[in-house]
Amino acid sequence: MQPLLTLLQINDSMFPIGGFTHSYGLESYVSQGIVKDTPTATTYARDMLSHNIYYNDAAFLQMAWKLLEAKKPAREFQKLDEFITALKAPSEIRMASKKLAVRFLKLTQTLHPVKRCSNYLAKIQEGKLHGHYPVAFAMYAFAHGISLKDALMAFYYNTLNGIVTNCAKLVPISQNDAQKILFNLQADISQLVEQQEELDEMLVGLCCIGQEIRCMQHEKQYSRLYIS
């Protein structure tokens, strides 16, 4: 198998794990008129990458990767799972991370089974672990010889792609403007990936309070198009 082709497949926006059903609070931002056009959508996307993903899901992916490189025992992954669960305060976000992890693990195991991924899925289904998408993604990418840098680059890009796709649907912005945002934020992604290794462990899980509040508001929003 080719690591690059595997990475392209599992990171594709059409990979059917349900990522398109989650807006992660964007629906609240739009309904409240905070994100309302291309400039505000661009700002929102950039802030999500640098103030949320960098300190949270990308950092969790890297932490899982380091455990895999060091061949740490299962109990260390349990600690990481509990750590991530505690940091995801809004219930919608916790459940989104679990749902994506379960769907990702189920699908990838039908493509090319990985023992560690199978064990992780079993623990989630047994209720022994909560389950989180960045950890599942790290496990599968690591097993297929993908580098950490490439995995992070793809993870950031896929996150950004989800954001701009939802902006195109919700704000709305044009598909051309969505593509411009993707292109113009490439430099941001590259910089964040280069800095990921330098992230102070004490800052992992740093709360992006505005987004978390919007996620909590979304739970009780009168009408919703997205699960989270």
User: Has residue 173 been placed in a domain?
Assistant: yes
- Domain assignment of residue 159, given as a range: 24-219
- pTM here? 0.95
3-state DSSP assignment of residue 58: helix
The CA distance from 156 to 190, in Å, is: 9
Report the distance separating Cα 52 and Cα 205, nearest Å.
Answer: 8
- Assess if residue 228 is contained within a domain: no
| pLDDT tens series, the chain, 228 aa | 699 999 999 999 889 998 888 899 999 999 999 999 999 999 999 999 999 999 999 999 999 999 999 999 999 999 999 999 999 998 999 999 999 999 999 999 999 999 999 999 999 999 999 999 999 999 999 999 999 999 999 999 999 999 999 999 999 999 999 999 999 999 999 999 999 999 999 999 998 888 889 988 888 887 778 877
Residue 187: which CATH number? 1.10.4190.10
Which pLDDT does position 211 carry in this prediction?
87
Look at residue 9 and tell me if it is in a domain: no
- Is the bond preceding residue 172 a cis peptide, omega within 30 degrees? yes
Taken in order 114, 101, 200, 202, is the CA torsion positive or negative? negative
Are 109 and 144 in contact, with CB atoms under 8 Å apart? no
Rounded CA separation 79/111 (Å): 28
Structural domain count, the chain: 1
Predicted local confidence at residue 217, as pLDDT: 87
Q: Give domain status of residue 205, yes or no.
A: yes
User: CA-to-CA distance for 98 and 128, rounded, in angstroms?
Assistant: 13
129: its two tokens: 């672990």
* Residue 47 burial (CB count, 10 A): 14
Q: Is 4 domain-assigned?
A: no
Structural domain contains residue 182: yes
